[in-house]
Chain A
Amino acid sequence: MSKQQLFNEVYEKHKDRIYRLCFIMVYDRSQIEDLYQEVLINIWKGIDNFQEKSKIETWIYRIVMNASINFNLKQKKHRETTEYVNELKETTYPEKNEIDVLMEKISLLKSADRAIVGLYLEGYPYKEIAEILGMTTSNVGVKINRIKAELKLLWNNKI
C-alpha cells in the first residue's frame, strides 16, 4: 500500500474524530481549519515512521494533542481565560443546544483538561486516555471526576 493510499484510509476512518478533538483543543474556533490542516500535515510527515508499537488511534490522537498545543502557542494573541469568559458572555446563539453550551464551558478549561475531556467525550476508557496522554490511569480518573465537577458548576452557573 502506498503512502497516499494509507493516508487516505486513515483520513477517511478518523476525519470526524480528529475534527472533534481539534474543535475542543483550539483556542480560537475561527482558526480550526488551519489547525486541522496542521494535524493532517503532521500525520502525513510521520506516517512513514509509524511503528506498530501502539495502536494507530493512539498515535493519531497524540499528534492531534501535540499539534494543538503547538498551534495555540503560535497564535500571537493568546487568549487569557478572563478575556474568553467576557467574550462568551457577549456571544448569543440563535439556537443554542446543549452541545454548544458544553463546548463553551470546555473552552474555559486548561489545555490538559480539555485534552482529557475531549477523549472522554469520544468514549475512550480511562486506560486508553492515560496511554494517549502519557498519564497514569488513576490520575486520569481523578482528573475526570474533577473536570466533571467543574463543568457541572459552570453549567449550573450558566455564564
Chain B
Amino acid sequence: MDFNELSAQWQQKKLPSTLDQVMFEKITHFEEQLKKENTKLSYWLAGTIYLTGMIALPFIKSETGVFPLMGIWFLVGIQTMLFWFRQTNIHKSMAGNPARFVEVKLSKLKYNLLVTNLFMPIYMILLGIFSSFYINHILEGVDRYIVISGIGFTWLFYAMIFYITWRKQWKKDSETITPQIIELEKIQADFRQK
C-alpha cells in the first residue's frame, strides 16, 4: 500500500460531468434561491409578530392589559433576537476551523434544549400569572369563589396545553437534537485529541 501512489491516483478523480452540468445551472440561480429563503424568513417573522399581537389583543381592552401585552412581546422579542444571533454565529463560523464550528453548533443545539426545558415552562408560568391578573381585573366585584375557579381552570387549561406541547417537543428533541449533541461532542473530542 503506497500512499504516494494512491494520492496521485486519487487526485486524478474529477467531478462527474453530469453533476458539473447540474451544478453549473444551479449556480446561476443561487441569488434568486437565497432571496426566496430570505422572503420566507421575513414572512415567518411577520407571522409570529402578527399572531402574538392577535393573542395579546384581548388584553389591551383591560386597563391592566398593557402589562401582559408588553411582557409577552418583550419575551418574544428577546427570543427572536437570540435566534437571529445564533443563526448569524453559525453562518459566520462556517468558514472557521472545524473545532470552532462544532463548538458554535453545539452551543446552538444546547440552546434549543434550553428553550424546551427552561423557556417553555417559564413562558407558560408567566402566561398563567398574566392571565390571573387579567381574570382578577375583569371579574372585579364578582363572587370570590367564581374568580378563584376562573383562575384555577385557566391554569389547568394552560397546564394541559403545556403538557401536550412540551411532551411533543421533548420527544422531538430526544430524537433529533440529543443524538446530534452526542455526535458533535465526539467530533469535538477527535479534533482536540492530541
Contact = CB atoms under 8 A, between A and B. Distances in A.
Main secondary structure of the interface of B (DSSP, over half): helix
A88 interface: no
Main secondary structure of the interface of A (DSSP, over half): helix
B15 to A, nearest CB: 4
A134 interface: yes
B91 A45 contact: yes
Contacts of B194: 139, 142
A98 B6 contact: yes
A114 B95 CA distance: 18
Interface stretch (B16-24, B115-123, B132-140): B16-24
A138 to B, nearest CB: 8
B11 A33 contact: no
A36 B94 contact: no
Interface string B167-194: 0000000001001100110110011011
- Which interface residue of B19, B94, B96 has the most chain A CB atoms within 10 A? B94
Nearest to B8: A123
A123 B11 CA distance: 9
Nearest to B180: A73
Interface residues of A, number: 55
Given A112-B191, A134-B100, A59 B30 contact: no
Interface of A: 4, 7-8, 11, 15-16, 18-20, 23, 33, 36-37, 40-42, 44-46, 49-50, 59, 62-63, 65-67, 69-70, 73, 76, 78, 98-99, 102, 110-113, 115, 120-123, 132-135, 139, 142, 148, 151-152, 155-156
Given A15-B23, A42-B94, A46-B91, 6 more contacts: A11-B27, A15-B15, A40-B30, A66-B96, A133-B99, A152-B1
